[in-house]
Amino acid sequence: MATESLDLLSKSTGYGVLIGVGAAFAIFIVISTKLSNKYLSENSQSTEMFMVANRSVGVGLTGNAVYSSWTWATALLWCVTMVYLYGVQSAFWYCAGSSIQICIMSVLGIEAKKKIPTSHTCLEIVQLRYGRTGHLLYMVLCLINNLVSASSMILGASGAISAICDNLHIVACTLLIPFGVLLYTAVGGLKSTFLTDYVHSFILLIVMCYICTAALTNENIGGLDGLYDKLVAKEAAGELRYIEGNYKGSFITGKSQGAVFFGLIHSIGDTGLTVMDSSFWQKSFSADVRATVPGYLIAAVLIYANYWALGMVLGIGNVILEDSPIFPTYPNKMTTYEVNSGFGLIYTLKALLGKQALGGFFLVLYLGVTSTVSAQLISVSSIISFDVYRNYINPKATNKQLINVSHLGVIFFGLLSAGFSIMLHYVGVDMTWFSYFYSMLNTPGVIPMIFLITWKHQSKAAFIISPILGIIAGLAVWTGTAYALYGSVTIKTTGEQLPCLYGGLTALLLPGVASVIISLIKPANYDWNKLTSQSNLISVNDDEDDGSTTKDNNTSEGSLKEKQETTLASNEIESVDIKDGKVMSRYTKLAYGSTIFVTLVTWVVWPLPLYRDYVWSKAFFKGNVVMGFVWLYAALVVIGLFPLYDGRRSLKKVFYGVLGKSDTASQSS
């Protein structure tokens, strides 16, 4: 399934980025970790730091980390593919299908902080409420989700990187993508993902701003007017595909059946990838009490920056330029494999901006996939260390033992996800098929998991039975619909929209209905105070380390005293907030209100008026593209600069420490 050489980037460039950038980030994390340990009194060998970053991450880094985790490499490729297939409205649906889930996680995050502030993984909460059976079942569901998430990213990114870099061997791409991530994640833990997420996001947004702006102003596009005029002229001349389900078959209409179906499938699957992914829960556990909800909502709003401008400009650019002599596949059109693998974005960039821009996008692609894989590695290592090792193997595990098991977990899952991705490639699965499919596996536990922390009447039987029903029914509806509509069950027929849509909806909604019905037959009345009272069962005393934690010879008595005072003050503040309830109550209302508001705006108020018999005018089209650029540049400012301002005190402290100046000097400046 490899493509012929299209004079893109060299194989040596591919190896240079895959090995060199990964190693550079590993060195960056090693240095950052040592500076944090020395000047900020952090302990990278503490489980609280490794797993949940001492629960002290501010608004800026929280928002950035969530934004980065949701900036999937395959999403950048896929949004252009969907515009190429179904028209401009696909870019909107990609944005709408990414925002709601982040809002949902803001609700779950603040509810967890309120009810069990010492948790490290969502599965610990499952065990405390529903016992071993529920814990084992949902451990399997979460690990399946982690594997699906990491493998789908690696599969899509490795295929694209192979195409960019002169058919660099797909196995080499797949194995080298986790390489650097393994290094820095094993060293720095969750804090390392926050730091690298910030660097990733800042670089990614700078490159994205350049790519979208340069592509739009390129002479082969001709700005906003040229983009619209060229598309309309080609449609009028009958040179473009007639899109079934679109008003007049047009690319520039809000009435697009295929785009709506795609938006639903995408949103269903991504809801599973979020709620069933312990790494998203961990980011909320890691955030300061006052940072959880604002951080998540910042990401929910700014996630539109990733896909709107890129989809509109490069997606329509792909449609316009495919028959042009400057397009890499000319005089041939892209094959189905190339379209479904997201190569349209790669070819369009090469046609418009040349190899230099393609190199920049290669870096963006690499940063996007490594951010996702890093979060998945920490998530799985946390499950292996806390939910498997400490629960079922060594209940009295010390801090050092948990850290060692976590390191092994990072390495194990990195290799497993790479191997699974290679298997998917060789059985003929492409990025689009897999992205359509995985909702049948990762969504059955979503609604019961939401009820875990929000509905006290959900019974144990409902929690356990409902996801099993969802998986069975979802897969049955998926394959049954493919057979009923297309007469066979093959890779092609099961990758069509309707089988995936019906199967995904069944897998998501049936467990919710089943959970409510089963619970109402014999409802529970769970006392949330039990979670708080059992917090000591999941906490880890970092001091009980069999002598493994020793005093750093370079740490002065003054800094030790300061560390103790800072820790006590932090604990006191958080304790007051939790006991008082006012802060939690305010943020809980904000999280629920924002989720309802975003759902209504993105799925009702905004898109439904556009679903009518109307081909967009030039003014309306230009307004949409301009708003996409406004979002993109706003994200660059907020995601790129706000974390620096939010963390200015820590940065200043490290800076003055490196210069050998006293803390007094840093505080007075």
Least confident range of 129-143, 163-177, 282-296, 562-576: 562-576
Highest mean pLDDT: which of 187-196, 322-331, 389-398? 322-331
> Is pLDDT above 50 for 559?
no
Q: What is the pLDDT of residues 34-50, one digit of tens each?
A: 776 666 665 555 544 44
Highest mean pLDDT: which of 158-162, 185-189, 248-252? 248-252
Residue 556 makes CB contacts below 8 A (sequence gap 6+) with: none
CB 122 within 8 Å of CB 142: yes
What pLDDT is attached to residue 97? 81
C-alpha closest to that of 69 among 261, 214, 286, 309: 286
Q: How remote is the C-alpha of 494 from its chain's centroid?
A: 25
Residue 101 makes CB contacts below 8 A (sequence gap 6+) with: 267, 270, 271, 273, 274, 275
What's the whole-number mean pLDDT along residues 96-124? 87
pLDDT band of residue 4 (cuts 50, 70, 90) is low
Q: Which domains does the chain have, with CATH numbers?
A: 11-456+526-540+583-659 (1.20.1730.10)
What's the first-to-final CA gap in the chain, in angstroms?
Answer: 60
What is the C-alpha R_g of the chain? Answer: 25
CA distance linking residue 272 with residue 344, whole number of Å = 27
Reported pTM: 0.85
Q: What is the pLDDT of residues 29-88, one digit of tens each?
A: 777 767 766 666 655 555 444 444 455 577 888 888 888 878 887 888 989 999 999 999
Eight-class DSSP state of 193: H
What's the whole-number mean pLDDT along residues 199-215? 91
Torsion angle of the four alpha carbons 494, 79, 280, 412, in this order, in degrees rounded to the nearest 10:
60
